[in-house]
Amino acid sequence: MKKTAFEKSIDPASQTLLQKAENEGIETAWDRYEQQLPQCSFGQLGVCCRNCNMGPCRIDPFGEGTEKGVCGATADIIVARNLLRMIAAGAAAHSDHARDAVLTFKKMSEGEAGSYKIKDEAKLFSLASEYGIPAEGKSREEVAVELANAMLLEFGKQNGPVLCTKRAPGVRLRLWSELGIEPRGIDREIVECMHRTHIGVDNNATHILLQGLRTGISDGWGGSMIATDVQDILFGTPEPKKSTVNLGVLSLEKVNLIVHGHEPILSEMIVEAAENPELLELAKEKGASGINVVGICCTGNETLMRHGTPIAGNFLQQELAVITGAVEAMVVDVQCIMPSLGGLTGCYHTKFISTSPKADFPGTVRMEFHEEKAYETAKEIVRAAVENFPNRNREKVSIPEEKQECMAGFSVEAILNALGGSPDPLIEAIAGGAVKGIGAVVGCNNVKVQHNYGHVNLVKELIKNNVLVVTTGCNAIACAEAGLLVPEAAVLAGEGLKGICEALGIPPVLHMGSCVDISRILVLASAIANRMGVDISDLPAAGAAPEWMSEKAVSIGVYVVSSGIYTVLGTIPPVLGSQEVTALLTKGLDSVVGASFAVEPDPFKAAKMMLEHIDKKRKALGLK
């Protein structure tokens, strides 16, 4: 049965535009999902194998039909191999993002990318010291070149450890080493995943999944962490900033340019170019009162936390932004970009501009972006948006009124600064019971879940029970749209957490950045664990991804659990076709890495599970 706009999303702005889409005969992701139903049950259970041309093979999960593929692979082997390939793809996405950031950093250091500058010199020298690079007698550019080269070696090294893993507590490092899952090199682990899942290589489910843990760690404590570090040097380490969020940030009178994707290498330049006096004057000539740059997804999170740039929405709102009829240009780089945007923008005046050499889409205007001419290309892109403004059809424009204030940019450095330079006040609040624990809630949107329903309700339940929430990615945007990223949201928190928030002037939900910035959460958890003299798995902390959908989210979940954080998933991963793999993920990992996965679509029940876990960890630590 076709769902109504109100059943598809809890967000009023999205509901308005979903209704507009239906009235105008415009197709959205929700329509395409309904056209796919019923979805393939073999695929949902993970028991379909296409890894060689003797297949595709499928296993009857109930034992009433075929129990082995042509090569003899069982459901356990097939499910484990499919999961490992998902982890590899997710780790590759984050790590390739990181590589591009480091290459830009290197070009900047060598004077080949003059549009970029070092914005956080203190972090540059701190990281140089961490990488064993002496700075005495050298210019900052010389130090930067050496640091960039050292970071690039982390991708191709053949024997580990990956350097950033040293930030984890010593007890966690020893555990990874004993288990043989300490990553040797970022690219090596991803390549080995692909090798192991080729026909006739690794055919033991447990052995396959251990490689999955190692690859996930190479992402969270490798690629993602490097991406965060480099972006902080180039664009500045985030500090708390106020802004606005939701589709109402689009302007009726200004040129609307949306940056969408995940790599801030481009969006940073777009934000700068949009302030160019020549382009602002051109906008006035074309009848606009200015240029309005807004974000979608994690590129939006990056510019939000460094510049206060408004965000129009998260993953499932990208089509809705175009449907407003008010967007002059949708500018994209990589990851989480729907190819449907090509056909959709053709229904309006919007230019769909693709910029990455490694990603193209149907119906785009190609304006390839290279660091050597970064600012010049950004100006060309902004100019294209400005010149498109007169083509806007005012009769088709419908911008929702909904927009919400938010506070974002809580890097680890910003959080520690707010606490006086040490995690001690937070530890004392946890020990005294004012803060019960920490909840890390992250991840995508998924059309299988009512848009933002899982995100918002799970987080509300946690803060109501005095759990301080840290968030990134699409969850962060969902929380912002629900009004949870402002200090005033403390009224929704339990008395203990409310008092802490009011004393510090912070929200009960802290926006820590984009998807790759989950690495910030790992660093914060490690700092707290080290200060308390325990492992991360001992902390009263839990993670969740209420509406996850991407392979990146699989890699994230794996490295979070591998780090010792119990994690609840709101959508079911394709593993239920194997009892062995399901048991390993939900129970077996506890005895291996001190944490495991759980699956619970109901956000209220998921919150209860997280609270029970936090209470168990508090009791084990002897806390009230």
Which residues fall within 8 angstroms of residue 23, CB to CB, at 6 or more apart?
A: none
State yes or no: pLDDT of 13 exceeds 80: yes
User: 52 among the known binding-site residues?
Assistant: yes
Annotated binding-site residue? 336: yes
User: Known binder of ligand: residue 48?
Assistant: yes
Q: Is 262 annotated as a binding residue?
A: yes
Calculate mean pLDDT across residues 310-334. Answer: 98
The model's pTM:
0.97
Residues 122-176 have pLDDT tens digits of 999 999 999 999 999 999 999 999 999 999 999 999 998 999 999 999 999 999 9
Average pLDDT over residues 449-471: 98
The pLDDT of residue 583: 97
- Cα–Cα distance for residue pair 520/514, rounded to 1 Å: 10
Q: How far apart are alpha carbons 324 and 36 in whole angstroms?
A: 26
What does the DSSP 8-state code read for residue 221?
Answer: I
Percent of the chain with pLDDT over 90: 98
CA distance 26 to 451: 18
Cα separation, 13 vs 120, whole angstroms = 37
Q: pLDDT value at position 62? A: 74
Inter-residue contact 250 to 294 (CB < 8 Å): yes
- Residue 228, pLDDT > 70, answer yes
**What span, in angstroms and rounded, lies between the C-alpha atoms of 299 and 258?**
10
Contacts of 372 (CB under 8 A, 6+ apart): 107, 112, 113
Nearest to 511 by CA among 566, 442, 449, 444: 442
Segments in 274-411 forming alpha helices (H) = 277-285, 297-307, 318-323, 341-345, 374-388
Contact 315, 308 (CB under 8 A): no
Residue 511 in marked binding region: no
- Check whether 39 has a pLDDT greater than 80: yes
Class of residue 485 by CB neighbours under 10 A (exposed 0-12, middle 13-18, buried 19+): buried
DSSP 9: B
Q: For a pLDDT cut of 70, what percent of the chain falls above it?
A: 100
Mean pLDDT of the chain: 97
Is 71 annotated for ligand binding? yes
CB atoms within 10 A of CB 180: 10
For residues 304 and 372, the answer to whether their CB atoms sit within 8 Å is no
Query: What is the distance between the alpha carbons of residues 264 and 304, in angstroms, rounded to a whole number?
Result: 11
Condensed to tens digits (0 to 9), the pLDDT of residues 55-109 reads 999 998 776 667 899 999 999 999 999 999 999 999 999 999 999 999 999 999 9
Is 444 annotated in a binding site? The answer is yes
The pLDDT, as a whole number, for residue 344 is 97
- Chain segment 490-547, per-residue pLDDT in tens: 999 999 999 999 999 999 999 999 999 999 999 999 999 999 999 999 999 999 999 9
Task: State residue 265's pLDDT score.
Answer: 95
CA distance 438 to 193: 32
Beta bridge partners of 471: 441, 511
**3-state SS string for 396-455:** HCCCCCCCEEEEECCCHHHHHHHCCCCCHHHHHHHHHCCCCEEEEECCCCCCCCCECHHH
Compute the residue count for the chain.
624
Q: CA torsion angle for 125, 131, 132, 137 (degrees, to 10)? A: -30
Asked if 62 and 93 count as a contact pair (C-beta separation under 8 A), the reply is no
Of the candidates 543, 541, 539, the residue with the CA atom closest to the CA atom of residue 570: 543
- DSSP classification of residue 137: T
β 467-471/509-511 pair status: parallel
Q: Is 297 annotated as a binding residue?
A: no
Report which of 193, 199, 202 is spatially closest to residue 71, judged by C-alpha positions. Answer: 199
For the chain, the first-to-last Cα distance in angstroms comes to 49
113 CB burial (10 A radius; 0-12, 13-18, 19+): buried
CA distance 476 to 455: 9
Three-state SS for 540-591 is CEEEEECCCCCHHHHHHHHHHHHCCCCEEECCCCCCCCCHHHHHHHHHHCHH
The whole-number pLDDT of residue 65 equals 65
Tell me the HSE value of 586 on the side-chain side, using a 13 A CA sphere.
Answer: 16
Contact 469, 436 (CB under 8 A): no
pLDDT at 392: 97
Please say whether the beta carbons of 584 and 595 come within 8 A. no
Instruction: State yes or no: 193 annotated in a binding site.
Output: no
The neighbouring-strand residues paired with 244 are 405
Return d(Cα 216, Cα 11) in angstroms, integer.
33
Q: Distance (Å, rounded) from C-alpha 560 to C-alpha 168?
A: 12
**pLDDT at residue number 1:** 75
558 contacts 212 by C-beta, under 8 angstroms: yes
Task: Check residue 406 and give its pLDDT.
Answer: 98
- Residue 104 has a pLDDT of 97
> What was the pLDDT predicted at 624?
79
57 marked among binding-site residues: yes
Given a contact cutoff of 8 angstroms between Cβ atoms, the answer to whether 154 and 162 are in contact is yes
Specify the pLDDT at position 617: 98
The pLDDT of residue 187: 98
Q: Which residues lie across from 365 on neighbouring strands?
A: 353
pLDDT digits (tens, 9 = 90+) for 171-225: 999 999 999 999 999 999 999 999 999 999 999 999 999 999 999 999 999 999 9
Which residue ranges form the domains of the chain, and what is each CATH number? 5-58 (no CATH), 75-235 (1.20.1270.30), 247-396 (3.40.50.2030), 404-620 (3.40.50.2030)
pLDDT at 64: 67
Residue 365 has pLDDT above 90, yes or no: yes
